[in-house]
Chains A and B, each alone.
Chain A
């Protein structure tokens, strides 16, 4: 079922809420992403970035609120949404017991990449992430960075309309990081692919994204271009802007212990929340 959407928007989110028991992970957020835009969700760990991505990508049902994505509603037309998406998750989602090539082939079949272009496209992408020489090695022999690169290659394999990247550069060295962004930007410009990514690196959001939404404690506290955010808060750097907006720095330590607690909570609460 198609839903009416502003013609320049590819993602429209209004009053989105996700609760896990008493805890509100995403607290009434609204935003929109334009076609062909590179859009960043900036915030500390546990701010609700991944939860939002999970709802956008059909993995979680929202508690309330509305999402329209490429004119589909993820709650009602899951396959329509899924076909439009490429996703690189925050945690690894590769099969360690398969080779790099087999992981790519599996993905290509699931996303219906035509057989005749499957081989060449897989080669092109594996060459790009510099894993072509290791294509027949089991993924379990790969380093963390190599796995990350393979996942990025896999996410791009079916030329998605929207690419979701959840903390994509976590654990990548600066060189690979730059390399990855230049490739993503390249596809973004050539094919008009929309890119939605989350990060807690200020510098990355500032440099890569056209617009940034600053999210903290499940709420969007500000949204705009990097320079807009800086001028609005009279700050020289995005770092300072963030400090002014939220009253605290992006601190990983505090957030990650909160994350752990939440994970424990989820474990005890069981699967259906």
Chain B
């Protein structure tokens, strides 16, 4: 328990100490909100689909959670390159505890990042309809954060340097984001896209968060959203631990 806590604390301290990283990570969501939110707003309205900023904001919040979470994997690669990983690997504690601490730490950071972007969306005109469901929204954010942090750490466990991670960014993270329904409604899509979107874990997160904020009807249903996210989180946490345990320093 102590070990999980100290791992978690370390991640948080490092996060709050890197001011440039916090500020830098807000640039992308802000750009997306401005370019897409205002850029497509008029067309979206003309098509009779309502206010695009309202639709987009939950997607952008989860985008930044997704990116930050996956990037926890990069921290692991840094630890390996700077030697600190060895210090943790020879400690008489189970790899599972190390993995859990790291994952919870990374997920907390990602969730905080989500909250900051949430504030950002309020500044550009996003207005949640429904404050009663906000705790549910927080739960969705945290599940998404843990899910993708486990994935990031699991993948990083199999890599020795940064190059491989770039590949993951392009071939995994970007598709997960763009095909999740964060930017467009999932109704009335071509059949292929429909299938792809329903295979994308982030789709369920976006759907759940949108429902929590707006109270509008959800595409998959809230129960399905939570069920898919929870099951996947447990699975990826298990997979991440397995991969992490196999590291030899």
Q: Which of A's residues lie within 8 Å of B, judged by CB? A: 54, 57-61, 79, 82-83, 85, 87, 89, 91-98, 102, 105-107, 109-112, 138, 267, 270-272
Q: Min CB distance, A179 to chain B, in Å?
A: 23
Q: Of the candidates B17, B85, B248, which one forms a contact with A61 in the assembled complex, judged by CB atoms under 8 Å apart?
A: B248
Known: A59-B248, A109-B6. A271 touches B159 (CB 8 A): yes
Count the A-B residue pairs with Cβ separation under 8 angstroms: how many?
A: 80
Task: Tell me if B10 and A82 are in contact (CB < 8 A).
Answer: no
Contacting residues, chain B, for A92 (C-beta < 8 A): 82-83
Query: How many Å lie between the Cα of A57 and that of B14 in the bound state?
Result: 28
In the complex, whether B199 has a CB less than 8 A from a CB of chain A is: no
User: Which of B88-96, B168-176, B229-237 forms part of the interface with chain A?
Assistant: B88-96
11 contacts between A and B (CB under 8 A): A59-B248, A59-B249, A82-B92, A85-B90, A91-B86, A94-B83, A94-B87, A95-B14, A107-B87, A109-B5, A271-B248
Contacting residues, chain A, for B13 (C-beta < 8 A): 97-98, 102
Query: How many Å lie between the Cα of A109 and that of B2 in the bound state?
Result: 7
In the complex, whether B160 has a CB less than 8 A from a CB of chain A is: yes
Most B-side CB within 10 Å, residue of A82, A94, A95, A111: A95
Main secondary structure of the interface of A (DSSP, over half): loop
Contacting residues, chain B, for A105 (C-beta < 8 A): 6
Q: Of the candidates B6, B90, B246, which one forms a contact with A106 in the assembled complex, judged by CB atoms under 8 Å apart?
A: B6
Q: Min CB distance, B242 to chain A, in Å?
A: 14
Task: Tell me if A89 and B83 are in contact (CB < 8 A).
Answer: yes
Known: A59-B248, A98-B14. A93 touches B160 (CB 8 A): no
Interface size class of B (residues with CB under 8 A): 20 to 34
Known: A60-B248, A92-B82, A271-B158. A109 touches B90 (CB 8 A): no
Task: Tell me if A83 and B90 are in contact (CB < 8 A).
Answer: no
Within 8 A of A (CB), among B206-247: 246-247
Query: How many Å lie between the Cα of A79 and that of B92 in the bound state?
Result: 5
Give B83's nearest chain A residue, CB to CB: A93
Query: How many Å lie between the Cα of A76 and that of B142 in the bound state?
Result: 37
Task: Tell me if B90 and A57 are in contact (CB < 8 A).
Answer: yes
Q: Min CB distance, B76 to chain A, in Å?
A: 13
Task: Tell me if B160 and A267 are in contact (CB < 8 A).
Answer: yes
Contacting residues, chain B, for A54 (C-beta < 8 A): 249
Contacting residues, chain B, for A109 (C-beta < 8 A): 2-3, 5-6
Task: Tell me if B86 and A95 are in contact (CB < 8 A).
Answer: no
Contacting residues, chain B, for A79 (C-beta < 8 A): 92-94
Q: Min CB distance, B88 to chain A, in Å?
A: 7
Known: A110-B93, A271-B248. A93 touches B158 (CB 8 A): no
- B177-204: contact bitstring with A at CB < 8 Å (1 yes, 0 no)? 0000000000000000000000000000
In the complex, whether B38 has a CB less than 8 A from a CB of chain A is: no
Give A138's nearest chain B residue, CB to CB: B17
Q: Min CB distance, B149 to chain A, in Å?
A: 19
Contacting residues, chain A, for B18 (C-beta < 8 A): 97
In the complex, whether B84 has a CB less than 8 A from a CB of chain A is: yes
Task: Tell me if B83 and A91 are in contact (CB < 8 A).
Answer: yes
Task: Tell me if B87 and A93 are in contact (CB < 8 A).
Answer: yes
Query: How many Å lie between the Cα of A41 and that of B147 in the bound state?
Result: 46
Give A79's nearest chain B residue, CB to CB: B92
Q: Of the candidates A57, A96, A111, A271, which one forms a contact with B82 in the assembled complex, judged by CB atoms under 8 Å apart?
A: A96
Task: Tell me if B86 and A59 are in contact (CB < 8 A).
Answer: yes
Give A151's nearest chain B residue, CB to CB: B87
Task: Tell me if A93 and B84 are in contact (CB < 8 A).
Answer: yes
Give A85's nearest chain B residue, CB to CB: B90
Give A106's nearest chain B residue, CB to CB: B6
Q: Min CB distance, B192 to chain A, in Å?
A: 35
Query: How many Å lie between the Cα of A117 and that of B246 in the bound state?
Result: 34
Query: How many Å lie between the Cα of A112 and that of B13 in the bound state?
Result: 21
Give B79's nearest chain A residue, CB to CB: A95
